[in-house]
Amino acid sequence: MIDLKRIRLIAMREWLSRLHQRSFQVVTIVQILFIVLGASLPTAIAFFDDGDEGGTATVLVIDQANAGVIDRLAPYVTVDGTAGGPGGASAVTLEPRSIGAADARREVDDGTADAALIVTRNGAGDLDFAYINASGENDAAAQRLLAGASAITVEDRLARSGVDPEAYQAAIAPAAFQIEGTRPGNTSNDEDEIDGARYGVALTFTILMFMAIMLYGTWVVQGVVEEKSSRIMEIMVNAATPRDLLAGKVLGIGMAGLTQLIPMLAVGGIVFALQRRIAGAIGADTGAIAGIDFGSLSATAIGWFFVYFLLGFTLYAAMYAALGSLVSRQEEVNQAISPMMTVMFVGYFAALFSINATDNMVSRIGGIFPLTSPFVMVSRTVMGRAEGWQIALSLALLVVTVILAVLFAARVYRVGVLMYGQKPSLKALFTVGRAQAVR
């Protein structure tokens, strides 16, 4: 019979002993700082990228041909390609001036302006564009203006030939071309930046899941072996049943793990959700940040992470404790847990593969198979490629497997804690188990 009071006391002992360790406190603080730095990457990229293509290049426009080019160039100098559109932060500031070419060159040379665009007509009546900057290089502003100048030149030629501008625009309109998949969520669109942000979050949480389960699972097995090697286990077995010891140890170390993970993910999630506000506060270009709901993505990623972490940790921690109970020395720990480590690495690499191909056979099977689903399914849910029935089936199988694993681990642990000095063989396990059954 399980004694909840004993389990609570054992769990509190494990939890408080970890919390009072200086290394635990230092590592927790360092992890929080690393997560904050990682969550601030979109803002940092926007801040350091600000000025390359984002609102600091001032170009003087000297329209000597009176062709109205400054208004026609506007769509080509915005971040999203549409003049005045949502998020259309200016990539190039166009400033109309009524000065000569020599004066324009002088202002560029003095640094008053970044560049100048002089528009004239040649002998054939075509528009000529002369772009002047300090270096004479083909910079980002020149590339944008070149695209606009090419289109304006064609329009001007057709207009002078009597072709209706509206008819021309209708003729050159791009074809309605869309790529669709047979499965939901596979429609192709212009979300490369959003997918990039999701990719980064999915990769971060996949690595964090693997590291957390491996680290805290190792704490469990090392604690079991340490208690066996120091003979403390004999005293503890007299005060509590092996099943209570197993439950208390897994629960206590799980609480210690959550003590590290909760503040780390909470702070990181808040920082990630406030990207645009932080960017605005430090003067970074908010238009350079992907148009994604950072708050929703943070909540989704953190929510699914905790669900799969709690189940995944319980599964692996129980098995780690069972394997640790079969050995009596720390030197034998790596050999004892190597089978579970192999399975974890398979799940980890399957998760990394699934981030790039979230809907292939490997990711679907890995997301459902209980031993790998804690790693694979997090990346699939963050990327938005997991269907509802797949998540439900994955969780159902994982819960059933956790229950069976805990029951099996409790039986092995009950026998293993008494195997002092014996090799962890099936024969020894069976012999001790039969002796326990007779009693």
Which residues 6+ apart lie within 8 Å of 395 measured at CB? 307, 311
| Residue 95, strand partner residues | 60
Question: Does residue 14 form part of some domain?
Answer: yes
Same domain? 397 vs 261: yes
Same domain? 11 vs 121: no
Question: Does residue 99 form part of some domain?
Answer: yes
pLDDT of residue 383: 81
Quote the CA–CA distance of 434 and 430 in Å, as a whole number: 6
Same domain? 235 vs 354: yes
Same domain? 34 vs 65: no
Q: What's the whole-number average pLDDT of the chain?
A: 77
Positive or negative: CA dihedral 384, 388, 393, 399? positive
CA end-to-end span of the chain: 16
Same domain? 26 vs 82: no
pTM listed for this prediction: 0.62
Q: Answer whether 132's CB lies under 8 Å from 116's CB.
A: yes
Question: Does residue 371 form part of some domain?
Answer: yes
Which residues 6+ apart lie within 8 Å of 257 measured at CB? 212, 215, 216, 313
pLDDT of residue 394: 93
User: What CATH number does residue 138 fall under?
Assistant: 3.40.190.10
User: Which of 82-91, 147-156, 246-255, 296-305 shows the lowest mean pLDDT across its residues?
Assistant: 82-91
Per-residue pLDDT reduced to its tens digit, 24-39? 889 889 988 988 887 7
210-214: which pairs have CB atoms within 8 A and are 24 or more residues apart? 210/344, 210/347, 210/348, 210/351, 210/375, 212/257, 212/261, 212/309, 212/313, 213/309, 213/312, 213/313, 213/316, 213/344, 213/374, 214/341, 214/344
pLDDT of residue 231: 60
Domain of residue 198 covers: 4-45+191-438
> Region 112-129: what's the mean pLDDT?
87
Helix/strand/coil for 60:
strand
Q: Answer whether 336's CB lies under 8 Å from 416's CB.
A: no
User: Which of 244-248, 373-377, 422-426 shows the lowest mean pLDDT across its residues?
Assistant: 422-426
Same domain? 241 vs 156: no
Q: Does the pLDDT at position 276 exceed 80?
A: no
Same domain? 93 vs 197: no
pLDDT of residue 127: 87
Question: Does residue 182 form part of some domain?
Answer: no
pLDDT of residue 398: 93
pLDDT of residue 438: 41
pLDDT of residue 364: 86
pLDDT of residue 322: 84
User: Which of 88-97, 100-109, 332-341, 418-427 shows the lowest mean pLDDT across its residues?
Assistant: 418-427
Which pLDDT band, with edges at 50, 70 and 90, does 81 fall under?
Answer: very low
Per-residue pLDDT reduced to its tens digit, 352-409? 888 877 677 888 888 899 999 999 898 888 887 788 898 999 999 999 999 998 888 8
Same domain? 105 vs 66: yes
Question: Does residue 179 form part of some domain?
Answer: no
Question: Does residue 11 form part of some domain?
Answer: yes
- Among 114, 141, 172, which residue terminates a domain? 172
Quote the CA–CA distance of 170 and 164 in Å, as a whole number: 10
| Residue 127, strand partner residues | 121
Quote the CA–CA distance of 253 and 309 in Å, as a whole number: 13
Quote the CA–CA distance of 120 and 211 in Å, as a whole number: 64
Q: What token pair was written down for 83?
A: 């003049």
Q: Answer whether 409's CB lies under 8 Å from 318's CB.
A: yes
> Region 79-103: what's the mean pLDDT?
64
Same domain? 235 vs 313: yes
pLDDT of residue 312: 92
Q: Of 222, 201, 127, which Cα lies nearest the Cα of 384?
A: 201
Same domain? 253 vs 377: yes
Quote the CA–CA distance of 274 and 294 in Å, as a whole number: 7
Q: Of 306, 298, 304, 305, which Cα lies nearest the Cα of 271?
A: 298
Highest mean pLDDT among 163-177, 349-363, 408-422: 349-363
Q: Answer whether 264's CB lies under 8 Å from 28's CB.
A: yes
Per-residue pLDDT reduced to its tens digit, 316-365? 998 888 888 777 777 777 887 888 889 899 988 888 888 877 677 888 88
pLDDT of residue 14: 86
- Count of domains forming the chain: 2
Query: Regarding predicted confidence, which is higher, 107 or 49?
Result: 107
Q: Does the pLDDT at position 270 exceed 80?
A: yes
Query: Regarding predicted confidence, which is higher, 19 or 189?
Result: 19
| Residue 411, strand partner residues | none
Same domain? 161 vs 263: no
Same domain? 211 vs 99: no
Helix/strand/coil for 58:
strand
Question: Does residue 411 form part of some domain?
Answer: yes
Q: What percentage of the chain exceeds 90 in pLDDT?
A: 9
> Region 229-239: what's the mean pLDDT?
62
Question: Does residue 178 form part of some domain?
Answer: no
Per-residue pLDDT reduced to its tens digit, 176-233? 666 555 555 444 444 445 566 678 788 888 888 999 999 898 888 888 777 776 666 5
Quote the CA–CA distance of 120 and 147 in Å, as a whole number: 17
Quote the CA–CA distance of 426 and 435 in Å, as a whole number: 14
Q: Does the pLDDT at position 18 exceed 70?
A: yes
Which residues 6+ apart lie within 8 Å of 400 measured at CB? 370
Q: Of 9, 426, 406, which Cα lies nearest the Cα of 246?
A: 406
Q: Does the pLDDT at position 73 exceed 90?
A: no
Which pLDDT band, with edges at 50, 70 and 90, does 307 fall under?
Answer: very high
Q: Does the pLDDT at position 439 exceed 50?
A: no
Q: What percentage of the chain exceeds 70 in pLDDT?
A: 74
Quote the CA–CA distance of 291 and 228 in Å, as a whole number: 55
